[in-house]
Structure formats: structure tokens, C-alpha cells
Structure 1
Amino acid sequence: MKLQLHVWGPAFSLPSIEAQCLAAISYCSLALPKDSWELVASSDPSVSPTGELPALQNGSIWVSRFRNIVDYIRKYSNGEWDLDRDLDESDRADNTAFSSFVESRGQALIDLSLYVTSQNYYGNTSPAYGSLLQWPNQWILPPKLHSAAKTRTEHLGLSSLDLQAMEDQRQREHSAAVAAGHIPRNFIQQPRETVSGLLGRTSQQNHFRIDALTGEFFEPLEAMLGQKSSLLAASTPSSLDCVALGYLSLALIPDLTQPWLRDAMRAKAPRLSAYTERMRTSCFGETRIEAVHAFSPESAPPSSLPWRAPGRISVTAVGTTLLSTLADSTPFLSEIRRNNRLKQEVESVDSGLSPRERAAVSMYADASKKDMYVSVAAVVGGVAALVGYMFHAGLIAISSGEDEPEEEEEEFSDYLDSGEQPKVADFLSGL
């Protein structure tokens, strides 16, 4: 049985729209024989029991996340399919350190470029998801990914790249000013900011922040690459090169409405840009990759990637997706699910936390869940006590409505027993 790698589907001429998926694809392309694995653009995290992509499937065994996939492939092949087998201890330490560096710094820049920058998200990223997702995921997943990216980058202080958020904030301030009876002069006819304006004026604080972020990411990798063909070894790529390709290709290749990240990479790291193009061709092939290639491999041009068409979404999967979305939108259930995900995240092997930290965060998640249950129980108990008091005080009375007909029957029987003959006038007056 062939190994199956499930990933987010193609976009921007790349085999996936997600960096970790691109890293996993490049590793499998370099390390595995082509006839030993298949690439499935399922674009649905629910296909994996862990709820994450990329996910490697070997029969009933599922492995998620790039580092776990690399470890599983190494053990599965007894070290034969291991790109890091020739690294010494020093290189292995550098591999781990720089992989973490690329993932942390690179993800923030990808989030800012593809999701937080409004013109790129609405003009490029969201339509790309629409072409590779099936109903109802095409309406549910992109907003969730957009919101998650904005949450991950809030600490960077670059929310002004999200023009929609800026406009919403401006509308709220405008409404508040109108409600207060005055509108500041500098708030009237104020033009909307654009990303080009934010980046074009060097006096803007955003420009310096973005310049610093891109420099902190690209320049160390440019210096590390030097004149070599790969980041660590002189000739053979390692798993670090696969991780770097995943993030650098999403920075360099997409043709976006506001390509500020690509421009920064080309200006600050020309050798790194050439390296990314070379690695992209080596791992993904020279053919321009479209979404149709993943869904109809037989109609696609020859490719170096072993595409396999994903299965159609089932009714059960649709129902599960809708129920999960409804649960995440319900305050009580969403809090419970959030705590469960937090606990599952910290208890995973690759969480990066020490046993003491994992125990502390897990205890916090359990305590939060218990507090939620106590709060709900207190509310239910309070409502029940209030209703009971209202019954006791007579504020609420329940009438069965069955006694009134019996009283009418008794009155009619007494009337007949009295011996009086009914009169026509009385009968008509009763009508």
C-alpha cells in the first residue's frame, strides 16, 4: 500500500496554499521514490483523526505535522528515506534551531501577506480557497483561517494592514461621535489608507516594522546560505531546506495585489530568492500547478508529483462540519471545545513544552472547563429557584380548565330538578 500525503490544495502555481504542507510535499518528493507515495489535495482537516493538515496516511495509521511525518518516514524506511542521515551533531542542532526559526518568523510574515493584508486576502487568498474547497467548507474555513491569522499577528502591531478592520473601527468611532453630538474635523472626509500608502511613506511606523520583520527573517537565511546550494550541507538538501522552501515559496512565488513581501525578499536576499526558485523546480517540477491538476490528475500535464484525486465529501462529513461550526458559534460549547483543543495541543509530543509546563497548561484547561460547568450549573440553579419562588408566591398559577364544565353540568341538572319549564325567551336569550 502506498503512503498518502493529505494536504491543502494547490494555489499560486504551488502544490499547496499552506507552508507546512509545502514542506511535507518537498520532503516526500526528495526522499521517497515516486511510486511509494501519493499526494491527495483533500483540503479538509477533518479527513485526519487529528484534525490537521498535512497528514500522512499509511492504512489505519495517521501522522500529522511536518516533523512527525519526517520521523515516521525515517522509522518506516529504517533510515533509508532520511534526508538528515548524513548530518553530524552540530548540523542536527542547527537543523532543529533554524527550522524553529523559519516556522515562527516565516509564519508571521505569511499571515501578514496572505491574510492580514486586506487587498491580498480578498483579491487573491480567498478566491484561491474558493477554487479548491467543496461546500460547505468554502464558506466556513476561509473566514476561520483569516481570523486565526489576525489573532496570531496581533502582537506585531500591524493591524492597519487589515483595511477592513480599519474601516470598521472608523465606522464605530464615527457612530460614537454622532451619538455624542459632535464629529471631529479631522475625522470628516478622511481618505482610506492603502497598503501601498502605508509602505510607500518611509515616515510611517508600519514601514519600519515591516522592514524590520522582513530583515530579521531573510537576512540570516541569506547569510547562512552563502554560496552553497543548500542551507546546511554543500550539495544535498536536508529537512531544513524543505521547511525553508515551504515558507519562502509562499513569500516569493504568489503574484499578489500587494506583493510587499516578495519585493522585500528580492531586495534583501537575492541569493535566497534564486535558491527558492531552484528548490521549487527540483521538488515541484517546472510545470505550472493549477487546482485542476489535483482534482483531475489524468487530464493534467506530466508532473513530478504523484497526484491522486480526493474523494467526494460525504453527507456525514458535511453534517459533522455544520455541527462543529454551530458548536464553535455557541458560547458555552465553543469554550469547552477551545479548552479541549488547548489540552490536546499541549499534551502532544511536539508541543515544545517541558513536562512541568504541559502539566500546568493542562491543569489550566481542566480548571477552565470546570469553572464553565460551575457557572452553567449556577445559572440553571438560579433560574430554577426563581421559578419555584414565583410558583410559591402565587405569581404563576396553572389552571387545568377542567372544573368549569363540571360546574355548568351541575347548574343545568339543578335547573331540571327544580321542575321549572324552560321558556322560549330564556332559550333565545341564551343564544
Structure 2
Amino acid sequence: MKLHILGPAFGLPSIDAECIAAVALVERYTQGSGQAWALVASHEAAADTRLPCLQVGDKTYSGFDRIAQHLIDEAGGAVPGLATDLTAQQQADATALMTFIKSEGQLLLDISLYVSFENYRNRTRSAFTKILPWYANFVVPPQRRNQARQRTQHLGVSSLDVDDFHEDVIDKPSSMQSEQQKKPFEHETEKHARRLLGRRDTVRTLLQQPEHAAAFRLNALADNLFEPLQDLLKNQSNLLGTDQPAIVDCLAFGYLSLMFYPKMPQNWLASTMRLRYQKLVYYLGSLRDTLRVDAHPDEALSAVSQSEKGAADLPWVSPQSFSPIAVLGYIGQCLFHQLPLPKSDAGLVHLPIRRPRSLVQRYFPALLGLTSTSLALLAFWSYKNLAWPHGEAVHFFGRRRLVDYGDAGATLSALGSLGLQMQQQQQQS
């Protein structure tokens, strides 16, 4: 059993929330069942799958929900190490909570890790550089940032995205700039004028500034996620009130850990959680001690040496390597997706996860080559022995005869005819 995830970052097993949740889920499951498993730091997925991806023999289960359902089916409904004996009300609450955490938590992570230019440039981008091969570094981070921009476009926090500001405003001529795009320049001019005149900002003008307005929106978005979760934890240690963590707790750990533990330049998520939601911080620390999924990039990038030393807690294995042809194909697909054409699968480009090949797949190339060679030999034998007209003159149309080459040609033609007549007389006698 192999679990393919995005590589580790910030002391966590992955830079993706659902990948962290999948690691916690599979680790908890294998601790109770004693089943062996391996963890692969990757960025590839087949065209019909996405990370995290659990590979069990010839089958793959993509996404956190499908992985969790597979483990429940394998364990007969009772997953070892997890609270799965839930009542009907708890199951309904778990479904609602997982949907709520994914929708609200993904927006917060999009803003913190990707939309915020300071966080993306100083922390997120460098984290991807450590865990991705060189050719994927030019593809995966920009793709994920573009997707985060699209998901958070309606929230009105574009003032955090300095890179987007420079691309969309500075590079355009003044005649193409809308009135909304000119406001940041007017704001800067007004601020310099106030500084020269010695006037102070009032509360109203402070609230009208884009960075402060964005801060209020960010706090409201954080409250939308943190406040309901903390209300559930007032009188219980887990979200559903169970003694052991449930599947929804693994998912909550994946999202909350990426909000709290990374040390970002704009650390508003962790600060909000630390100052106003201390019960949630205690819950997160308790989950981290229980699940034991801490990681470091060196464990994934040098899995062989770490396993020899016995220093790695998670069962990392060496990432799979791809042939130059596969890498060139990957780069070609990336360039193709940059063309202004209708795209499917959100414009993602993937390399396939290698699966064990069956006997037919393994020997099919050799069988195909043997069959082609046999058919070619059979066609040559048929042409030489069946289709050739024996005893008759063969005429090649479009070619000149020997008699067309003057006296020498006529002499050679007569000699050939004489030899043919002598051969026929010998056969008759």
C-alpha cells in the first residue's frame, strides 16, 4: 500500500491540507491493523486522479474521501485506531463538518499560502523548490497560485496580492486602466499629501484604506471557520465527542495545521487562532501528539539513508524517477496548456503514477514484434513461391529492353533467347 502526496513542508508531511489528512488517516489505520505501507513524495497523478492518491495493488483511490471510504470498507466498518462506531446523528454531523472545513478552510489557505504575495514569495515558493524536481517547479506553484486567485476573487482581498497589482495595473497603459484600478495610485498620492501637510488619518479614512479593509475581511473569514469549531470543542476533546479521533478530526488537522504551524511574514491566521481561539490551539496540539505525523523535507528527499539510520517516523520511500522522454512529454503538455484553448481538468498537467503491469502488458511488445516479423516473412515467401509466374516472360512496364541499346543490346538479347531455347530442348528430351 503506497500513499502518493505532495512533499513535506513547514515541519508537516505535506504542503497540501488533504494530503496531510490522508497521511494522518493511513498512519492511524496502519497502527491499529499492523499493515505495512509506504509514503511517496510526488507531484504526479494520472489523468483521472488527483493527490492524495492511495495505491493498493492495481487499484488507486484518489482524494481524501475515497481513501477514507476504502479503509472503512477494508476494515469492515471499524477502522482500527479511529472512532468509526458513530451514531446516525454523529455521521450526519461528520458529513456536514467535512464539507464545512473543506469550503471555508480552503479559502483561508488560498489567501495565506498563495494570494498573499509576501507569504508566497518568501515561504510557499521556497518550500515547493525543496520538494519538486526542477521541471515541475516552473509548473506546479504557478498553477496552484492561479487556482487560488480564481477561488478567492470574489472575497475582495486583492490588495494582499502585490504581484497581481503590478501585473494588472503597472504594465497596462493609463488609457486601459479602470477607475477601480486607479484608486491605489490615488490612495498613495493622498497619503503622501497628508504626510507633507501634517494631517492625521481618522478612523474613517483608516477603514477606507485597502490594506485595513482587507484585514477586516480576513478576520471575518477566519471567524467563520474558527468560531464554530471552537464551539464544538467546549466540553469535548474531539469534534464529535468521541474518545479517539475520527476521520473528520484527521481532516481538521490537515487544514488547521497548515494555518497555525507555518511561520509566515503575514501571520494573521496563526495570530488570530493564538489570541482568540485558545481551545482550538489546544485541540490542534493534542491531535499532533496523538497522530504523530511530523515530518521534514530531508526525510522524503533522502528516504533511503533515513530508513537505514532509523530516524524517519513516517515510512518514506524514494520518489519515483521518470525517463527523459516522460519529462519532455510533461513539459510539452505544460506548454500546450498555456495556449489560449478550452482546457479540461482545471488546466492541470500530470505525469502518470506507475502501477504494476500485468502479464499481457509486460509481454505485449515482444508478442507484437514477433507477430509482425512472422507476417513479413510469410508475405515474402508467398511472393517468391506463389505469385512469381514461372516459365513465362516477365515484363516490367516502363523500362527499356535490351534491343533498345543498339547492336550490343541486340547481341545480348539474341544470346539470351538462344540460351532459353536450349534449356527448353533439354527439358523436352
Instruction: With the length of structure 2 as denominator, give the TM-score of the two structures.
Output: 0.69
| Structure 1 residue 217 corresponds to structure 2 residue 215 | no
Instruction: Show the counterpart of 2:302.
Output: 296
- What is the aligned counterpart of 1:76 among 74, 80, 93? 74
Aligned-partner Cα distance in 2 for 1:156–1:188: 23
Alignment of 1:397-412 (within 5 A): none
Aligned-partner Cα distance in 2 for 1:54–1:167: 34
Instruction: Show the counterpart of 2:268.
Output: 260
CA displacement at 1:97 relative to structure 2: 0.1
Aligned-partner Cα distance in 2 for 1:211–1:14: 25
| Structure 1 residue 158 corresponds to structure 2 residue 157 | yes
Aligned-partner Cα distance in 2 for 1:155–1:38: 40
Aligned-partner Cα distance in 2 for 1:202–1:340: 38
Secondary structure class of the residue paired with 1:331 = coil
Aligned-partner Cα distance in 1 for 2:229–2:315: 30
Secondary structure class of the residue paired with 1:165 = helix
CA-to-aligned-CA distance 1:225-251 (integer Å, 9 cap, x gap): 113221112421100100100000000
Secondary structure class of the residue paired with 2:344 = helix
> Percentage identity across aligned positions?
33
For structure 2, the 5+ residue unaligned runs are: 193-205, 349-429
CA displacement at 1:111 relative to structure 2: 0.4
CA displacement at 1:321 relative to structure 2: 1.3
Aligned-partner Cα distance in 2 for 1:340–1:130: 21
| Structure 1 residue 323 corresponds to structure 2 residue 329 | no
| Equivalent pair of 2:83/2:244 in contact (CA under 8 Å) | no
CA-to-aligned-CA distance 1:242-287 (integer Å, 9 cap, x gap): 01000000000001111111111112211111111221232235x6
| Structure 1 residue 131 corresponds to structure 2 residue 106 | no
| Equivalent pair of 1:20/1:243 in contact (CA under 8 Å) | yes
- What is the aligned counterpart of 2:5 among 7, 17, 24? 7
Secondary structure class of the residue paired with 1:81 = coil
Instruction: Show the counterpart of 2:88.
Output: 89
Residue type of the alignment partner of 1:161: L
Secondary structure class of the residue paired with 2:289 = helix
Instruction: Show the counterpart of 1:41.
Output: 41
Secondary structure class of the residue paired with 2:77 = coil
Asked which structure has the greater CA Rg, the reply is 2
Alignment of 1:163-174 (within 5 A): 163-172=162-171
CA displacement at 1:175 relative to structure 2: 4.0
CA-to-aligned-CA distance 1:374-416 (integer Å, 9 cap, x gap): xxxxxxxxxxxxxxxxxxxxxxxxxxxxxxxxxxxxxxxxxxx
| Equivalent pair of 2:299/2:312 in contact (CA under 8 Å) | no
CA displacement at 1:125 relative to structure 2: 0.2
CA-to-aligned-CA distance 1:137-173 (integer Å, 9 cap, x gap): 0111111111111111111111111011123344146
Aligned-partner Cα distance in 2 for 1:21–1:340: 20
For structure 1, the 5+ residue unaligned runs are: 193-200, 342-431
Taking a change above 3 Å as real, the CA distance of residues 191 and 35 of structure 1, as seen in their structure-2 partners, is: farther
Secondary structure class of the residue paired with 2:11 = coil
Residue correspondences, number? 321
CA displacement at 1:331 relative to structure 2: 2.3
Aligned-partner Cα distance in 1 for 2:142–2:191: 27
Aligned-partner Cα distance in 1 for 2:48–2:345: 15
Residue type of the alignment partner of 2:150: T
| Equivalent pair of 2:78/2:85 in contact (CA under 8 Å) | no
Instruction: Show the counterpart of 1:228.
Output: 236
Aligned-partner Cα distance in 2 for 1:128–1:150: 19
Aligned-partner Cα distance in 2 for 1:138–1:340: 16
